[in-house]
Amino acid sequence: MTHHVHLGDSGQYFAAAPDQTLLDAGLQAGIALPYGCASGTCGACRCRIRSGSAVEARPNRVLSDAERAAGYALLCQAHAYSDIVLEWQAPAGTPAARPAIWPCRLQERRWLSSDVLEVRLKLPRGDAPFRFLPGQYVDFLLDDGGRRSFSLAAPPTDDTIELHIKITPHGRFGRYIAEQLPDRAMLRFEGPLGAFHLHEAERPTLLVAGGTGFAPIKAMVEDAIQRADQRPMHVFWGARQPEDLYLDALVREWTAHHAHIRYTPVCESVPEDWTGAHGRVHDAVSAHYPDLRGHALYASGPPAMVASIKASALQSGLHPDHLHYDSFDDAHVTWPGTP
């Protein structure tokens, strides 16, 4: 039996058959639902079911018990067993854009550290510029059918996008971009993707990054500064060693000019004169904020880091409605043969 799935109080709804996931049914109906891997591993389609019942096809390890208890489900895994109302907030400011395929041209490459490359790509001029919510990501479409995901590292402009690419010895796409791609070469990407963005809640906000997970956090903070959003923000950036905090000076500049922004760099291996936190980033967050009731938290980075911060933050009283994350799961890395 087909059921109706309502998007909050918006008046929008779509029909979902029992053998369809909510994501498939919504996309088929032309609704721009957020998603990434479509296979239950990234969490980009996480949504709260306000009323009605849905059953997930198979267990996933993305959602914690606290999130499940609060009614969260993965749209790419859940099937409707009754009419459903999803908790649905249209993002304020820039409206959520439907993913599309865009051409772009390599404009500039700049090393931000020994292994992180800033890449700027020029977009075509046109009546409808590429729009996205700071925090979202794009998938590069490769000639052999592979895809490679990168977060957008700056707020929307009319003609460029910025990426931070970690170059590793075995990362074929990164090495290709760094070493072989000719200047002004053309690429194609699909986007915007994902649901990671700064929500409107006016509550003290923690932004927790691991490694190049800093990219979407940077886009969100720069956008908040441009909009004169004055909510208290505390940026935590975790890395192995201080050299890996590849835009540390930029974050310090934010704090120097904006009293509502704080910064705690966190490194696992530190020199004697280190003044930041020592250890793992989720422990630093817990040390600063043993009680997270009344806060919002955004986390972006490798799956292990995001899992740790989720667990500790929920234990510290953070409400799941105010927990948002972007986990760089392996499912995002679809370049064939990439270890």
Q: Which residues are near ligand FES by CB under 6 A?
A: 35-38, 40-45, 62, 74, 76
Task: Tell me the C-alpha distance between 220 and 228, whole Å.
Answer: 12
With residue 239 as reference, give the H or E element that holds it: strand 233-239
- CA triple 139-108-157, angle to 5 deg: 65
The nearer residue to ligand FES, 266 or 306, going by C-beta atoms, is: 306
Beta strand 137-141 pairing with 84-86: unpaired
The nearer residue to ligand FES, 236 or 298, going by C-beta atoms, is: 298
The nearer residue to ligand FES, 37 or 281, going by C-beta atoms, is: 37
Could you please report the per-residue DSSP string of 285-297?
A: HHHH-S--TT-EE
The nearer residue to ligand FES, 65 or 273, going by C-beta atoms, is: 65
User: What's the min distance (Å) between Cβ of 57 and ligand FES?
Assistant: 11
Residue 226 φ/ψ, nearest 5 degrees: -60, -35
Task: Tell me the C-alpha distance between 198 and 91, whole Å.
Answer: 9
The nearer residue to ligand FES, 283 or 330, going by C-beta atoms, is: 330
User: What's the min distance (Å) between Cβ of 43 and ligand FES?
Assistant: 5
Could you please report the per-residue DSSP string of 79-147?
A: EESS-EEE---PPSSSPPPPPEEEEEEEEEEEESSSSEEEEEEEPPP-SS-----TT-EEEEEPTTS-E
User: What's the min distance (Å) between Cβ of 323 and ligand FES?
Assistant: 15
User: What's the min distance (Å) between Cβ of 279 and ligand FES?
Assistant: 29
User: What's the min distance (Å) between Cβ of 330 and ligand FES?
Assistant: 12
